[in-house]
């Protein structure tokens, strides 16, 4: 009997198979672990049933039921490109298993969009998809379940703590990976300080201004956009769905957050052709890019600094941080957006 552990709770293969059979009437004949992804609090499995249909089974303790209900709502209303789990026996798009939340979603055979050469048609379709999401009006009961933009950035304290440690005299020895982390923060002190200051100043300003909130995916970058074998685009991983200004999603194209896949001006034009006429607020766009940078600094920095973590995971986090401060990384993109405001 094999098991997978998530936050001190384990679940066996047999328990997963029995639950999927009970909740979805699926006879799974093959179940494999899926590698990849940055969500360390979840486990994803690929299941194949007796009819050779494939499904993604996600086991987690961190996903809000609200996001699952919202994606089910979008799919039920025919928004092509939105993905949602199948309804369980009680109609909910998830079921409980030993204190864990389990979802079963049809598997999409495809590749992340940032790994392929997207055509003009793909970029237009991407814009059309986000436009449909942003113009969807949720029922009041669903709308009230989702988090709303507050213009407060998680992770600020963590980034400041690491930056302070990097600047000060170290009174205790640190291991090699922690030393590398502190050296990186010190080498990029000016950029990090500028971004931290910007989210405080701009955040306070935006909190005093009215906003036009829409349904946002919240993580709509090209790593969460799958190009399927039938050439369709599918937006996955809706865990960060939020009610916020549309710039919350538009930053992933009009700014870009994947260092290895910068987005050209021509690709942005194609996207906007599909999205439609929109007046983008450069202040909000800069804020969200700075916010994303801070959250990346905080998450990866905390993972490197925690010496109880697996060394391989710590090294991966350090590699990701180095990408964030590269010439095409989110830090440089955020700083450029700030300069455009000043100009």
DSSP-assigned letters across all residues of 81-110 = TB--PPP-TTS-S-EEETTEEEEEEE---E
Q: Which of 76, 96, 86 is nearest to 54 (CA)?
A: 86
Give percent of the chain with pLDDT exceeding 90: 81
Give the Cα-Cα-Cα angle 295, 297, 299 (nearest 5 degrees). Answer: 65
Q: How many CB atoms lie within 10 A of CB 76?
A: 11
Task: Tell me which of 92 and 65 has the higher pLDDT.
Answer: 92
- List 57's β-bridge partners, or say none: 45, 104
Strands (E) located in 26-133: 28-33, 42-49, 54-60, 95-97, 100-106, 110-112
Specify the pLDDT at position 8: 39
Specify the pLDDT at position 272: 97
**How much is the mean pLDDT over the chain?**
91
Is the pLDDT at 66 greater than 50, yes or no? yes
- Segment 62-66 shows an average pLDDT of 74
Reported as a pLDDT band with limits 50, 70 and 90, residue 2 is very low
Contact predicate 224/236, CB 8 Å: yes
Sorted by sequence, the CB contacts under 8 Å of residue 57 that are 6+ apart come out as: 16, 20, 31, 44, 45, 46, 47, 102, 103, 104
Contact predicate 336/282, CB 8 Å: no
Reported as a pLDDT band with limits 50, 70 and 90, residue 28 is very high
Instruction: Indicate the SS3 state at residue 173.
Output: coil
Is the pLDDT at 39 greater than 60, yes or no? no
pLDDT tens for each residue of 74-126: 999 999 999 999 999 999 999 999 889 999 999 999 999 999 999 999 999 99
Is the pLDDT at 339 greater than 80, yes or no? yes
Instruction: Indicate the SS3 state at residue 324.
Output: helix
Within a 13 Å sphere around the CA of 294, how many CA atoms are in the beta-carbon half? Answer: 25
Task: Tell me which of 230 and 13 has the higher pLDDT.
Answer: 230
Is the pLDDT at 11 greater than 80, yes or no? no
pLDDT tens for each residue of 308-319: 999 999 999 999
Q: Which of 29, 299, 338, 26 is nearest to 195 (CA)?
A: 338
- Segment 283-304 shows an average pLDDT of 97
Give percent of the chain with pLDDT exceeding 70: 92
pLDDT tens for each residue of 197-225: 999 999 999 999 999 999 999 999 999 99
Q: How far apart, in Å, are the Cα atoms of 54 and each of 29, 69, 198, 228, 281?
A: 10, 22, 45, 14, 42
Specify the pLDDT at position 85: 94
- The structure tokens listed for 190 are 């000016």
- Segment 240-261 shows an average pLDDT of 95
Specify the pLDDT at position 343: 58
Task: Tell me which of 333 and 169 has the higher pLDDT.
Answer: 333
Q: Of the ranges 101-105, 140-144, 301-305, 339-343, which one carries the lowest mean pLDDT score?
A: 339-343
DSSP 80: T
């Amino acid at each position: 009997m094999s098991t997978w552990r998530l936050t001190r709770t384990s679940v066996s293969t047999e328990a997963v198979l029995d639950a999927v059979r009970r909740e979805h009437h699926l006879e799974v004949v093959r179940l494999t672990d899926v590698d990849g992804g940055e969500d360390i609090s979840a486990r994803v499995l690929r299941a194949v049933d007796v009819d050779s249909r494939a499904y993604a089974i996600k086991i987690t303790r961190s996903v809000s039921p609200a996001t699952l209900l919202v994606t089910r709502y979008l799919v039920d209303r025919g928004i092509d490109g939105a993905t949602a789990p199948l309804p369980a026996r009680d109609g909910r798009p998830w079921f409980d298993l030993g204190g864990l939340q389990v979802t079963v979603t049809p598997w999409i055979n495809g590749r992340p969009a940032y790994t392929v050469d997207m055509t003009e048609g793909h970029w237009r379709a991407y814009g059309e998809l986000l436009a449909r999401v942003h113009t969807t009006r949720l029922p009041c009961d669903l709308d009230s379940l989702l988090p709303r933009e507050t213009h407060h950035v998680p992770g600020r304290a963590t980034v400041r703590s690491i930056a302070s440690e990097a600047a000060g005299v170290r009174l205790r020895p640190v291991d090699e990976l922690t030393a590398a982390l502190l050296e990186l923060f010190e080498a990029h002190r000016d950029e990090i300080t500028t971004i931290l200051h910007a989210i405080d100043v701009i955040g306070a300003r935006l909190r005093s201004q009215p906003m036009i909130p829409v349904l946002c995916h919240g993580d709509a970058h090209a790593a969460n956009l799958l190009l399927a074998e039938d050439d369709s685009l599918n937006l996955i991983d809706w865990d960060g769905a939020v009610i916020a200004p549309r710039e919350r999603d538009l930053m992933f194209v009009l700014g870009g957050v994947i260092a290895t896949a910068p987005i050209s001006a021509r690709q942005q034009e194609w996207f906007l052709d599909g999205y439609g006429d929109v007046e983008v607020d450069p202040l909000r766009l800069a804020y969200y890019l700075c916010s994303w940078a801070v959250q990346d600094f905080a998450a990866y920095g905390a993972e490197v600094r925690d010496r109880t973590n697996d060394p391989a995971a710590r090294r991966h986090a350090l590699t990701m941080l180095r990408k964030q401060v590269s010439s095409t990384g989110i830090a440089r993109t955020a700083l450029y957006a700030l300069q455009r405001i000043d100009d």
